[in-house]
Structure 1
Amino acid sequence: MHGPLNLTPEGLADEAARLRQKLEAGLGTLRDLGDVHVGTTPREEVWRDGKVVLYRFRGERPPTAKVPILVAYALVNRPYMVDLQADRSLVKGLLARGEDVYVIDWGYPDRSDRFLTLEDYIERFIGGAIDHLRKAHGLPAVNLLGICQGGVFSLCYAALNPGKVRNLITMVTPVDFHTPDNMLSNWNREIDVDLLVDTLGNVPADMMNLTYLMLKPWRLFAQKYVGMVDILDDRKAMQDFLRMEKWIFDSPDQAGEAFREFNTRFFQGNGFVKGGARVGDREVHLGLVEMPVLNVYAEQDHLVPPDASRALRGLVGSDDYTELSFKGGHIGIYVSGRAQQEVPQTIHDWLAKRTR
């Protein structure tokens, strides 16, 4: 006699035996994997300011693009997400299409970086990297690609230094921080940021990771590890899984003062929309972003909802504004199979029409 779930003692025994075999095979797979390596594209350091390093990436053939792209990632995670592995690399996809790609690595802030400000990250670091590229390539302006929080930084830089940015690309970048479906922003608005930073100094990476994981606790705490059992005997699938896990938990601490300023001016103050977004003593007006803009957002993004990103259209001063709506999530836009073709190709085609 079968129960309501159509379970039988024989069926349960067979399932237990299959699970045991899977776990036994998985132990062998894990032993053989060794260290998981990330970032496969050759690169060289070309500029440095303290812990911040600018890397130039090398493709299989020299670039054909006349104007280089500088990629600015968020502070909360490591930038090798754009070059995670050979078959999941935005950098590799751009290089294959002839682009000249540079990426800023923010490094790991320590106690000596406690008082770094947004002005340091935007004007000193992004600005320093851009000035290096302008001089190295003999150009008045370069292309800037900002991702997530790095997109916010890039918008600020472009508004304050429009003559140095030829074309601006933003990916999964929050602009309106107060859309109703922005859970992360809703949480941040309830934080006493001054008390947090004054107490801790730098904001610990583990605290930031826990915050992001709690946005989808079932999916990110339980479901993915239950699903991992199904791939334990698949070497490549386990390597892919562990690379992603390494990236998720390889998070730098956040420089306290910059964290305070970003949260108060954007998460809480919604400075792009309401005004009051300042870098140092200068206010940022997105109406001064008059260069061509490509805004790429993800339709299933739980960190930067589409409406938070699409708000850029009504704020920039550019007459040349383009959107790419990607069917995927905040991470899928870098690593999914569809993204490997769609995103770098769109960026390349868009730049080719505007950089001659």
Structure 2
Amino acid sequence: MIPFSMYFDMLTNAFEALTWGTKILSKYNQAYTESYFDAIRECQKQAAEYKNFEVFDNLRCMLPSEELYEEWLKNTDTKLNDLLKSEEFSSLLSNYVESNLEFRKLLKAQGYPIQYFEDIYEFITNNWNSYYTRRKDKVVSEFRISYKKDNTRLMHFIGDDKSPVIEGKNPLLIIYAPINQFHIMYINPVRSVVKSLLSHGIDVYLLDWGYPTSKYNELSLFDYIAYVRDAVQSIQNQTSISKSVNMLGDKMNMDENQMNLEIANTKNFLTYKTSPENSSSDRIDQNSKYSKKISILGYCWGGIIALCYASLNNNSIRNLTLLAVPVDSSKDQTILSTWAKNLDTDKIIDEFGHLNGQVLDIGFIMRNPVRYTVDKYLTMIKKYNDTEFMDNFRSVEGWLYNTPNIPGKLFKDIVNECYKNNSLVKNSIGLNHEVINLHKIDVPIQTIVAENDDLVSSASTMEIENYVSSSTKKMIKFKGGHVGLCISGSAHSQLWPEVADWILAN
């Protein structure tokens, strides 16, 4: 029989969780209410400038007009940005999380089948995710799986008739963030980063992390770097084969004079007497050495993995492109970064073994619940007859709430090392007897920041230029948001052609 004290502890923790949750809600309500009255005052101030219509406009400002709504929503962004990054709110959120964790521990201690229900939930979500992946795979460009290990697969995209892609030439590996799914890189055929790169003659590979289950909770940052190393090796092997096939094809197409010239050159090579200054290693063609190197593009947390890999394997990289990557956490002043630094995330991982993808979804929404729930659906209603908008909206919504779990060890490594300790720029991340040192990176580097990014501060990303040894550096500032880098019309008409040209030129 369960002691009465255990029930009392359960009720106490449940009441504490409810209390902290209520206090958090009251903070949101206060911010929304104050923002509304600020919007009214702003509207009245503007109306006072038109004295002939003062009465009419003052009355209008008391109504939920579209102008008032937009002003109110803009004010909530500002007010919530300050509130959610405050120490007071971080403390409330921390207490709320810890009281829920303690309540869960008590339920488990009393024999409630918490893990059983979580296993059922994981089984259902895994099946849904498998269905979603198969459905989305039919939408993206044709591809083949070049390498697969555990839950990870290396996708090799095949260009269409309009794409001047030659396999083995200009290979690029995209390392996507383990926070979400790669489909944002190919949200639809019209707005596709992959398709844009293919159209410029880049041979595109992408590392898909899949949907890690509880089986993979112990995967660490080191393991993810190992996946990248395996993927790069696979690309290099395939590139060598493709080049050999292309060279054979070229030789078969030679006319008789070309063939005779080739035979003569071969004879000269065979009778060539080597000397110390003309050793075999020195005579290797530069293009041959170059072909062993590949370009890498890292997006968000995928960029952190790319930087760690580049630090340890600089010689295998031709050039490096970083897309909205959190580099210097001291410069990252976003809401989610603040929470990552202040919350005891280790307790969450120790209890669950991983970070649930739906928890991340809730965190994204909490930045401004009205804007990221109600407002976007109001916009959808207004543009319901816009076919292109609706296609993009459905695609983005499907991607947005299909967030995979993050393995606990990986989450700890990135949050503790990169956010809490800022170890990436301090060159103090130790991985299996190896130390990540950004100064070892000397390849050409291209950095892309979104000026309106509310997930990764642009200042944090731009700091990378102060820590690498690269002589060739390029900075692109894009007027848009974190996701807009991949899906906005201006990104595909202006940004990605410029990015592709740089990759090919360096």
TM-score, with structure 2 as normaliser: 0.62
CA distance, structure 1, for counterparts of residue 387 and residue 498 of structure 2: 32
CA distance, structure 2, for counterparts of residue 286 and residue 277 of structure 1: 10
Which residue among 128, 140, 156 is the counterpart of 2:230? 128
1:6, distance to aligned residue in structure 2 (A):
8.7
1:274, distance to aligned residue in structure 2 (A):
2.9
1:284-306 deviation digits (Å, cap 9, x = unpaired)? 11100111101111111111111
| Contact 1:269 1:276 survives alignment (8 Å) | no
Q: Which residue of 2 aligns with 1:292?
A: 444
Q: Which residue of 1 aligns with 2:503?
A: 351
| Contact 1:45 1:53 survives alignment (8 Å) | yes
CA distance, structure 1, for counterparts of residue 478 and residue 239 of structure 2: 32
Question: Which structure 1 residue ranges, 4+ long, deviate > 3 Å from structure 2?
Answer: 36-39, 233-236
Q: How does 1:117-196 map to 2 (within 5 A)?
A: 117-122=220-225, 124-138=226-240, 139-179=291-331, 181-196=333-348
CA distance, structure 1, for counterparts of residue 435 and residue 412 of structure 2: 17
Residues 216 and 281 of structure 1: CA distance in aligned 2, closer, same or farther (over 3 Å): farther
SS in structure 1 at match of 2:153: strand
Q: For the aligned residues, what is the CA RMSD?
A: 2.2
Residues 120 and 201 of structure 1: CA distance in aligned 2, closer, same or farther (over 3 Å): same
Which residue among 140, 147, 151 is the counterpart of 1:51? 151
SS in structure 2 at match of 1:107: coil
| Contact 1:93 1:341 survives alignment (8 Å) | no
SS in structure 1 at match of 2:154: strand
CA distance, structure 2, for counterparts of residue 72 and residue 350 of structure 1: 18
1:183-228 deviation digits (Å, cap 9, x = unpaired)? 2211111121221111011211100111122223332122112222
SS in structure 2 at match of 1:5: helix
Residues 216 and 7 of structure 1: CA distance in aligned 2, closer, same or farther (over 3 Å): closer
1:75-127 deviation digits (Å, cap 9, x = unpaired)? 011001111101110100111111100111101000110101101101x2111
| Contact 1:178 1:185 survives alignment (8 Å) | no
CA distance, structure 2, for counterparts of residue 227 and residue 280 of structure 1: 49
Which residue among 90, 114, 128 is the counterpart of 2:193? 90
Task: For 1:5, give the aligned amino acid.
Answer: R
1:132, distance to aligned residue in structure 2 (A):
0.5
CA distance, structure 1, for counterparts of residue 195 and residue 332 of structure 2: 36
1:145-165 deviation digits (Å, cap 9, x = unpaired)? 101100110011001111111
1:140, distance to aligned residue in structure 2 (A):
2.3
SS in structure 1 at match of 2:471: coil
* Percent identity for Structure 1 against Structure 2: 28
Higher relative contact order (CA 8 A, sep 6+): 1
Which residue among 194, 216, 226 is the counterpart of 2:378? 226
CA distance, structure 1, for counterparts of residue 342 and residue 477 of structure 2: 31
CA distance, structure 2, for counterparts of residue 337 and residue 163 of structure 1: 36
Residues 5 and 41 of structure 1: CA distance in aligned 2, closer, same or farther (over 3 Å): same
Residue 73 (str. 1) matches residue 225 (str. 2): no
SS in structure 1 at match of 2:234: helix
Q: Which residue of 1 aligns with 2:410?
A: 258
CA distance, structure 2, for counterparts of residue 155 and residue 261 of structure 1: 14
CA distance, structure 1, for counterparts of residue 308 and residue 151 of structure 2: 22
1:141, distance to aligned residue in structure 2 (A):
1.6
1:7, distance to aligned residue in structure 2 (A):
10
1:312, distance to aligned residue in structure 2 (A):
0.5
| Contact 2:332 2:456 survives alignment (8 Å) | no
Which residue among 54, 60, 66 is the counterpart of 1:5? 60
| Contact 1:54 1:104 survives alignment (8 Å) | yes
| Contact 1:302 1:330 survives alignment (8 Å) | yes
CA distance, structure 2, for counterparts of residue 258 and residue 344 of structure 1: 30
Unaligned runs of 5+ residues in structure 2 are 1-54, 66-134, 241-290
Task: For 1:100, give the aligned amino acid.
Answer: D
1:217-251 deviation digits (Å, cap 9, x = unpaired)? 33212211222221234444222211110000011
Which residue among 452, 457, 460 is the counterpart of 1:305? 457
1:282, distance to aligned residue in structure 2 (A):
1.6
CA distance, structure 2, for counterparts of residue 316 and residue 218 of structure 1: 41
| Contact 2:219 2:409 survives alignment (8 Å) | yes
CA distance, structure 2, for counterparts of residue 57 and residue 37 of structure 1: 14
CA distance, structure 2, for counterparts of residue 311 and residue 272 of structure 1: 11
Aligned length: 328
Residues 5 and 75 of structure 1: CA distance in aligned 2, closer, same or farther (over 3 Å): same
| Contact 1:178 1:186 survives alignment (8 Å) | no
Residue 276 (str. 1) matches residue 276 (str. 2): no
Residues 6 and 52 of structure 1: CA distance in aligned 2, closer, same or farther (over 3 Å): closer
After alignment, is 156-165 or 179-188 more displaced?
A: 179-188
Residues 140 and 201 of structure 1: CA distance in aligned 2, closer, same or farther (over 3 Å): same
| Contact 1:185 1:268 survives alignment (8 Å) | no
Unaligned runs of 5+ residues in structure 1 are 12-35
Normalized per residue, the structure richer in helix is 2
1:254-294 deviation digits (Å, cap 9, x = unpaired)? 11111111110011111122332233332111100111101
Residues 320 and 197 of structure 1: CA distance in aligned 2, closer, same or farther (over 3 Å): same
Which of the two has higher C-alpha Rg?
2
